[in-house]
Amino acid sequence: MARADKVVVRLAGDQRHALDRLRQTGPHPAALRRRAAILLHADARGPDAWTDDDIADHLDTSRNTVMRVRQEFAADGLDATRHRKKPTGRQYRKPDGKPEAQLIALACSAAPDGRGKWAMKLRADKPAERAVVAPIDPATAWRTLPKTTSSRGSGNRGSSRRGRPWRS
């Protein structure tokens, strides 16, 4: 089933030769060999231009992978397709300065009426209500505040028996 909006891959002679060499020789990762094979089979100038479904069946991969490799090649060229960018992961910004101080002061204050302690959602929403800082996510409040449930100064707190007699 051919689609009208499919990205057409047209490899130059040197690009085709480089991909063919990459696919057949040397210790290369399987994913790199697979991307090279996808581009070689998808080449419109090649001896046999295959459809995405045929390529996916032949290489035992998904149709979305074939489409994604085509799109990467069309957008960024051969080098970007051969050497994919590593995922960076999420970057969390921790509040610093005034927002952090407000959050810690709020956590140390008395809990609101009808509550035994501050909930993370309340800790995140309260500074924004006071218009002191910009709204923050409850997960950010959770990562910012240190754990304060145990007293590190008292000898009879915590699970460690260090510093206490063996028998009580």
3-state secondary structure of 167: coil
Q: Residue 28 above 80 pLDDT?
A: yes
Instruction: Give the pLDDT confidence score for residue 1 in this predicted structure.
Output: 46
Q: Does residue 124 lie within any of the structural domains? A: yes
Q: Does residue 161 lie within any of the structural domains? A: no
Weakest-pLDDT range from 3-17, 61-75, 150-164: 150-164
Instruction: Give the pLDDT confidence score for residue 4 in this predicted structure.
Output: 43
Weakest-pLDDT range from 10-14, 19-23, 79-83, 124-128: 124-128
Shared domain for 19 and 73, answered yes or no, is: yes
- Cα–Cα distance, 25 to 32 (Å, whole number): 12
> CA angle at residue 115 from 112 to 119, to 5 degrees?
85
Range of the domain at 66: 13-82
Q: Residue 149 above 60 pLDDT?
A: no
Q: Give the percent of the chain with pLDDT over 90.
A: 5
- Which of 59, 54, 52 has the alpha carbon at shortest distance from 8? 52
20 falls in which pLDDT band (50, 70, 90)?
confident
Instruction: Give the pLDDT confidence score for residue 62 in this predicted structure.
Output: 92
Dig out the tokens for 99 from the structure: 């927002």
pTM of this prediction? 0.51
Residue 33 CA, chain-centre distance (Å), reads 24
* 87 vs 21, residue with greater confidence: 21
Give me the number of domains the chain comprises: 2
Q: Does residue 88 lie within any of the structural domains? A: no
Q: Does residue 60 lie within any of the structural domains? A: yes
Shared domain for 107 and 73, answered yes or no, is: no
